[in-house]
């Protein structure tokens, strides 16, 4: 496993496991296989796992909480807050067996289920809502102090608000988290994020990271030792299309990790076979 460091020496695996579909209604992989895959990832030397409070209606964090109990000193988990489900999310969680069965009945039904679920997500960066969200994530993960806390895709204007900077500072000083950062969707948001003095983590899509080359923002990231975690490195298939072919996936992963300023590449992995294939790209 390739290892990289950020924030003055924090060591993480170059391949990070994205847990966005862990516990998801749209994921046809049985939970026992998903948990076995996470276990296999740890045994293979992967220590970086990325999640969010809304993934799987909280079940992604709960699953990683169980992994943490078994491997407390071998796992580094980053979670995100700022998104929340609508009022029917709790009922959806308990109806997952039925919803998964519906999703497996065909691509059209699966797409309808996913679209309906996504439509219930609300982005909310009021500090009064972020605080209880952090507490809920700490409980689900079983951590007094989170390894890393990210705001989940806020706008650039949100990131420039003094109260957001103060909130992140308070999370650090109160030891709710050891590190703070932002998951962004655009270069503009990334530029706003780097203005946060306490920030040590940035997560961004590959296309945004590629646009950093030669910019003052990249120099600031390097100078401050900020960890840069790249996501969305594989082609997203069209409805009904096959996933990215294995050879292309390994090439994409290797290319994403090629720049020395990239700390880790995040890839969603649901099966041990898929994991084993990807590991050959970072051996």
Residue 209 included in any domain:
yes
Residue 77 included in any domain:
yes
**What pLDDT score was predicted for residue 238?**
44
Mean pLDDT confidence for 118-122: 65
CATH number for position 126: 3.20.20.100
CB 86 within 8 A of CB 2: no
| Confidence bin at 240 (pLDDT 50/70/90) | very low
| Confidence bin at 23 (pLDDT 50/70/90) | confident
Residue 73 included in any domain:
yes
Query: For residues 144 and 83, which has the higher predicted lDDT (pLDDT)?
Result: 144
Q: ∠ CA(97), CA(69), CA(145), 5° rounding? A: 105
Does residue 168 sit in helix, strand or coil? Answer: helix
**Spatial distance between the Cα atoms of 176 and 184, rounded to a whole number of angstroms:** 22
Residue 206 Cα distances to 67, 68, 89, 225, 257, angstroms? 28, 28, 30, 19, 10
Residue 1 included in any domain:
no
Residue 108 included in any domain:
yes
**Spatial distance between the Cα atoms of 256 and 267, rounded to a whole number of angstroms:** 11
Q: How many domains is the chain partitioned into structurally?
A: 1
**Spatial distance between the Cα atoms of 13 and 97, rounded to a whole number of angstroms:** 33
**What pLDDT score was predicted for residue 123?**
78
CA 106 to chain centre: 27
Residue 2 included in any domain:
no
Give a three-class secondary structure readout of 30-65. Answer: CHHHHHHHHHHHHHCCCCEEECCCCHHHHHHHHHHH
Q: DSSP secondary-structure letter at 152?
A: E
| Confidence bin at 119 (pLDDT 50/70/90) | low
CB 161 within 8 A of CB 128: no
Residue 140 Cα distances to 60, 97, 173, angstroms? 9, 21, 21
Does 8 score more than 80 pLDDT?
yes
CB 272 within 8 A of CB 17: no
CB 18 within 8 A of CB 50: yes
Residue 74 included in any domain:
yes
**Placement of tokens 């996504």 in the chain:** 118
Residue 267 included in any domain:
yes
Give the model confidence (pLDDT) of 33-68 as tens digits: 999 999 999 999 999 999 999 998 899 999 999 999
Question: Which structural domain, as residue segments, surrounds residue 122?
Answer: 7-279
Give the model confidence (pLDDT) of 184-228 as tens digits: 999 999 999 999 999 999 999 999 999 999 999 999 999 999 999
CB 88 within 8 A of CB 168: no
């Amino acid at each position: 496993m390739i290892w990289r460091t950020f924030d003055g020496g924090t060591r993480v695996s170059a391949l990070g496991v994205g847990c966005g579909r862990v516990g998801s209604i749209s994921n046809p992989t049985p939970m026992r296989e998903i948990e076995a895959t996470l276990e296999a990832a740890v045994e293979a030397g992967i220590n970086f796992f990325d999640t969010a409070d809304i993934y799987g209606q909280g079940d992604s964090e709960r699953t990683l909480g169980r992994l943490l109990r078994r491997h407390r000193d071998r796992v580094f988990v980053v979670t995100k807050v700022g998104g929340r489900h609508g009022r029917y999310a709790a009922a959806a969680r308990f109806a997952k067996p039925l919803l998964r069965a519906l999703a497996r009945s065909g691509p059209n039904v699966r797409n309808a289920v996913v679209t309906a679920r996504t439509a219930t997500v609300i982005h909310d960066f009021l500090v009064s809502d972020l605080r209880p969200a952090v507490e809920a994530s700490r409980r689900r993960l079983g951590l007094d102090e989170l390894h890393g806390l990210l705001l989940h895709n806020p706008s650039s204007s949100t990131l420039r608000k003094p109260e957001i900077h103060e909130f992140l500072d308070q999370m650090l000083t109160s030891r709710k988290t050891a590190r703070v950062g932002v998951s962004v969707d655009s270069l503009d948001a990334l530029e706003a994020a780097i203005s946060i003095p306490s920030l040590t983590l940035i997560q961004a899509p590959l296309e945004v990271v590629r646009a950093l080359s030669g910019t003052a923002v990249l120099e600031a990231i390097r100078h401050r030792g900020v960890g840069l975690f790249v996501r969305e490195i594989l082609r997203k298939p069209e409805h009904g299309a096959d996933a990215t072919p294995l050879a292309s996936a390994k090439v994409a992963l290797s290319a994403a990790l090629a720049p020395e300023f990239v700390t880790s590449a995040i890839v969603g992995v649901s099966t041990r076979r898929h994991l084993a294939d990807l590991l050959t790209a970072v051996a």
